[in-house]
Structure 1
């Protein structure tokens, strides 16, 4: 609408070109990345939650990131098919829907960034102090609960700025808070600067640990080396995909682009880059589950066990029952003392588990 008075200008042509490129990228994401990301995020959550006993510390964090990715998958089609991303919008939405989408996006971004940060710190703890249970599954579950609560509370402060930016100036309290740059500054500092500093510190400690290899590195209780590569790669990929978005928030905070159209090409380029950076941020919900599937050797085995269980139903598969029976029988025979009557031991070995142990 800014360029309605200059339809034949070069600025308008630049705006049209950027809009066409953004529309193509959005449609490609919705056709290819969105269904794959939705499917794999749901699989990651279901497979791990159905195998809670075998979950490790990294699994809990990746489940947490996958849930945040599902929230992004809910926001993505509404946002990408709206007027901000495509020249052929499917729907228009009002300020209330826009604020709701923005808050859900912010909560997901905070959960993803802080889960990634704490994953790197717990990775260092696991490398430096194995078997201390500081980075155990039990502790990680409680930490993830605090992450979601903290993300909601942090987004509430930004919510006040966003809401007051769209309401009447007659409300005295909101008239002093109609500043979207302040909301972006809060998200920039809490959502990116703090996690980036923590991840940088954790990486320095991890590199120091790797240079000083100890006999603990051969400890059988430590995480599999493939998990180490997965943790480092996931942290790097998350920051690569989210950094452009937070950089646009920083630019908006420092320059106050909102409402300033004195330099039209610059404003057009800024909003194009901002939308492109949001598209990259959405793609993190597509990249992370694929990396988890490729680099975590246990995921495919857990998925196969889950599919077999679903296929066999509540009664369990015959193969699994035979394996369990063999394990129970062997453990019962090992627990029994030597008997002077060989046949008596054979009789006890087929008795029920509780009677045999008694």
Structure 2
């Protein structure tokens, strides 16, 4: 709880002033996120999902992954206001959530983080396949949809396995089964390894392969222009931005896992922890904006959807002309 409760109200020490300054800075950042990033991210994530799902025929492999990340972003958008207005961020919390709410938010956050990280990882690997073997169609839309289904299933199973440690950390010690599992650091270690270490190694491997392909001039590389060049830049930029925004959160998780037995916590640690969570929430704001900015087809799909909504049940003029041309 960010309220400097470890210090007296009359305390004028350096640590107390530092705690107050950190609380003020964090409150400003949280308010800025809630006022600007939260509504924009919510609207653009929903728009990304609706526009692409309404044009399923024209969806490509990257579109499926970005829709997947947008759905995870919507979940993060739902968790963010509760977390940012809770006792971890505000000096005077709007509410104090109980154990059940805390665990629910935690599992939703963990599921979303796993989906985002593994979608980004598989996006980079499929991008390499698309560049190296463009005629095999291994990274097709059909395969990608099934892969995304496995991502959500795996994220839920992984989150529930680590959730057992969190649940047992809040129940009575009289339960024998949970008394052996009351170790929150073990859950954090699981999330650190599965949610960051494994994806990071896979992404680094994919980036090395992509850079190697770019240096080599082959016929397959020339045929890999089936994806628009702007999509190439979007894929690489999204992978880098996602890991840039999520790395601080997992680094703090690693620090907590290592230093938890000693209990070496201070105002700086809590400030960095909250700031890392805020950066993680910002990924749900950055991704749809990058997709909107760098994907040339998105504007066309959006205009087409708006025209459909304006025409209603009747076919639009451009669609009627297309049908007439097909008939004739």
Q: Taking structure 1 as the reference length, what is the TM-score of the superposition?
A: 0.88
**CA displacement at 1:4 relative to structure 2:** 4.3
Structure 2: how far apart are the matches of 1:129 and 1:141?
Answer: 20
CA 1:194–1:321 in structure 2 vs 1: closer, same or farther (change >3 Å)?
same
Q: Which residue of 2 aligns with 1:119?
A: 123
Residue segments in structure 1 that go unaligned for 5+ positions in a row: 330-358
CA 1:174–1:226 in structure 2 vs 1: closer, same or farther (change >3 Å)?
same
Q: Which moved more, 1:175-184 or 1:272-281?
A: 175-184
Q: Which residue of 1 aligns with 2:280?
A: 281
- Match of 1:222, SS state, is coil
Q: Which residue of 2 aligns with 1:196?
A: 200
**CA displacement at 1:323 relative to structure 2:** 2.7
Q: Does 1:91 align with 2:95?
A: yes
Aligned residue pairs: how many?
324
Q: Quick one: higher RCO (CA 8 Å, sep 6+), 1 or 2?
A: 2
Q: RMSD of the alignment, in Å? A: 1.5
Q: How does 1:20-169 map to 2 (within 5 A)?
A: 20-169=24-173
Q: Does 1:210 align with 2:214?
A: yes
Structure 2: how far apart are the matches of 1:319 and 1:278?
Answer: 47
CA 1:15–1:67 in structure 2 vs 1: closer, same or farther (change >3 Å)?
same
The question of whether the paired residues in 1 share the 8 Å contact of 2:188 and 2:254 is answered with yes
Structure 1: how far apart are the matches of 2:200 and 2:103?
Answer: 26
Residue segments in structure 2 that go unaligned for 5+ positions in a row: none
**CA displacement at 1:5 relative to structure 2:** 4.6
The question of whether the paired residues in 1 share the 8 Å contact of 2:80 and 2:281 is answered with yes
The question of whether the paired residues in 2 share the 8 Å contact of 1:6 and 1:12 is answered with no
- In the TM superposition, what whole-angstrom CA distance separates every residue of 1:259-288 from its partner, at most 9, and x where no partner exists? 826xxxx52111110000000000000000
Q: Which residue of 2 aligns with 1:16?
A: 20
- In the TM superposition, what whole-angstrom CA distance separates every residue of 1:181-207 from its partner, at most 9, and x where no partner exists? 111100000000000000000011111
Q: Larger C-alpha radius of gyration, 1 or 2?
A: 1
- Match of 2:266, SS state, is helix
Choose which of 231, 236, 240 in structure 1 pairs with 2:235. Answer: 231
Structure 2: how far apart are the matches of 1:93 and 1:23?
Answer: 18
The question of whether the paired residues in 1 share the 8 Å contact of 2:192 and 2:254 is answered with yes
Q: Taking structure 2 as the reference length, what is the TM-score of the superposition?
A: 0.95
